[in-house]
Amino acid sequence: MAEIGQVINNKYEILKLIGKGGMSRVYLAMDMNIHKPWAVKEIDKTVRDQNNEVIIQSAIAEANLIKELDHNAIVRIVDIIDEPDKIFIIEDYIDGETLNALILREGAQPQEKVIEWAIQICSALEYLHTRKPPIIYRDMKPANVMLKPEGNVKIIDFGIAREYKEHNTEDTKCLGTKGYAAPEQFGGKGQTDARTDVYCLGVTLYYLVTGKNPSEPPYEIYPIRYWNPRLSSGLEAIILKCTRPNPGERFQSCAELSYALQHYEEYTAQYRAKQLAKVWKFGAAVAAAVIFLIAGFVGLGKRRGKINSDFEINMNQAVRATDDKEKLYYYEKAIDIKPGAAEPYLGIIKMLKEDMVFDVEEETQLKRLVIPNQEALKREGDYAELAFEIGKLYWYYYSYGTENQADNTMSRRGAATEWFNDAVTYGKTDDEFYLMASVYRDIGEFNSTIEMKIREGSDGGAYKEHWISLREMVSSIDYSTPEVVELEIYNQFIDAVIARMKGFRNDGVSYSEVSALYEKVVAGLQDTNPISELNVAKKEAILAKVEMAKDIIDTNYNKGGTKTE
């Protein structure tokens, strides 16, 4: 057992025990080099009984799965330390509490909050399910979801996640949590797949809105309005569909479930009755409809015209508004009218950039508007461009409140990369933004995975691709590039030279190529004429590093680009 004050691997100082169970313990630790808190999971290897073997194997599997993942609702692993009698896994320290702790303290949660959390969880699970091969989480429950202070959630504990095996007919082990596990998680009842996670999430939602733990008597999933008649019948129908014993009768993906949650009111009995009434009225009036067909087309045209007119009125009002609160009011009205149109979201993004800081409160505000309308944006074809602009908003402007710039940069790029990936996934190769979205995504993925690749000795070849991405980013600067963006691009290049020069050299980037791009960056940096105090300080900080970068280039090459050993 680790002791308070013990330093792991000459780097991580143990501060306190924050959790334990079975053969593992979790500590809060401080990175002594960058003064950042991490969670350290310690797993004993000394006891050789069967249960402990499963825990060790699960820990190793968990680490190997998570280290390849990059999603803002999934905990990150940054280090794995294997000692003779134990394993230490270093992962994100999440400030907050589990949803299980919240339920135990406060009881059932408001359905609006639960739906918001569920949509975030669906996004993370859908990300897992679309990996190659797909990853099935298999242990979704409130105890495995952390709620952060700003209201976002993060999935932790990948101890029983598995990669989906296409030709398997059933799982080899019965793992999961009683009450939450789907029927197919018990041996001989089929292989787990994405629909297993749909089931587990459905049970989790049941517990969150009712406060009734499915792991306790009566061990059954009742309709949620049995416990609370004020809950939505639409949400009740969704949860019942999630938790059907037959996987074929559930939602078939977390994307499908997310869409249902965003439109849960359409699942209510009242809504369906209204739709049925429309069908009956249509049948009774079909003859009259023929008579009024032409008038109907005229009316439809007028209605569409009114929608477009109302939308444009609110957009114009937002542009004319003199303060941010008024702008946001009109942009939100425009979104209510046409949720799949990108213009109001882009207007909000432009507004958020004006003070050159995108903070946590503004992040929550933007997500509240974008996430529920993602499907509508995709249908209209505007989602990819919007995702690209949101990615840039995170990449260059995001600050979650810490004064540690390295920590802020890591958070900015990590959050941005997912949006850039969406821009590439849903965009077309001939879209104006597509190339730069790919560049940003590749740089983000490089930064999030390179340290692990270095430890594994698998980093060869990665630096050449990273160099190409940096070159494309520098080349993208033109007269229209905002000052803060231009400075950040120069800063990223100089930092990459300082930190990764040996890798660039070993991957075959020539001395002349490095020197030419370095000179271009320094010349561009010197030509900038920032006005704001923030950007003046930024320029000075970059200039202070350029000589160090030049020295590092020179010491890594002989004349002509020959490698220096």
| Three-state secondary structure readout of 60-75 | HHHHHHHCCCCCCCEC
223 and 157 within one domain: yes
83 and 101 within one domain: no
DSSP letter at 214 equals T
The predicted structure's pLDDT at residue 238 = 95
Residue 56 within any structural domain of the chain? yes
55 and 107 within one domain: no
Q: What's the rounded mean pLDDT across residues 520-537?
A: 89
Nearest in space to 456 (alpha carbons), one of 77, 86, 155, 157: 77
Residue 283 within any structural domain of the chain? no
Residue 17 within any structural domain of the chain? yes
38 and 59 within one domain: yes
Cis peptide before 133 (omega within 30 of 0): yes
231 and 109 within one domain: yes
Cα end-to-end span (Å), the chain = 43
* Residue range 446-468, pLDDT digits in tens: 988 888 888 888 888 899 999 99
73 and 49 within one domain: yes
- Report the C-alpha gap between 463 and 455 in whole angstroms: 15
132 and 33 within one domain: no
DSSP letter at 16 equals E
197 and 66 within one domain: no
> 343-346 long-range CB contacts below 8 Å, 24 or more apart?
343/315, 344/314, 344/315, 344/318, 345/369, 345/370, 345/377, 345/386, 346/386, 346/389
The predicted structure's pLDDT at residue 457 = 85
126 and 167 within one domain: yes
Residue 87 within any structural domain of the chain? yes
The predicted structure's pLDDT at residue 310 = 84
The pair of three-digit structure tokens given for residue 221, joined into one six-digit string:
């999933």
Total length of the chain? 565
The predicted structure's pLDDT at residue 360 = 84
Backbone region of residue 9 per phi and psi (left: phi > 0; alpha: psi in -120 to 50; beta: other values): left
Domain total in the chain: 2
Print the domain residue range for 82: 7-92
199 and 51 within one domain: no
Residue 419 within any structural domain of the chain? no
Report whether pLDDT(474) > 70.
yes
User: What pLDDT band is residue 44 in, cutting at 50, 70 and 90?
Assistant: confident
186 and 210 within one domain: yes
Q: Judge if pTM exceeds 0.75.
A: no
User: What pLDDT band is residue 355 in, cutting at 50, 70 and 90?
Assistant: confident
Among candidate residues 271, 300, 320, the one where a domain is terminated? 271
Taking residue 19's Cβ as centre, other Cβ atoms within 10 Å add up to 12
Give whole-number Cα distances, 314 to 31, 45, 130, 317, 373, in Å: 50, 64, 38, 5, 18
Nearest in space to 80 (alpha carbons), one of 23, 41, 37: 41
Q: What's the rounded mean pLDDT across residues 503-526?
A: 95
Among candidate residues 228, 252, 271, the one where a domain is terminated? 271
Residue 239 within any structural domain of the chain? yes
% of the chain at pLDDT higher than 90? 46
Q: Which amino acid type is present at position 129?
A: H
Handedness of CA 387, 400, 74, 98 (dihedral sign): negative
* Residue range 421-440, pLDDT digits in tens: 999 999 999 998 998 999 99
148 and 37 within one domain: no
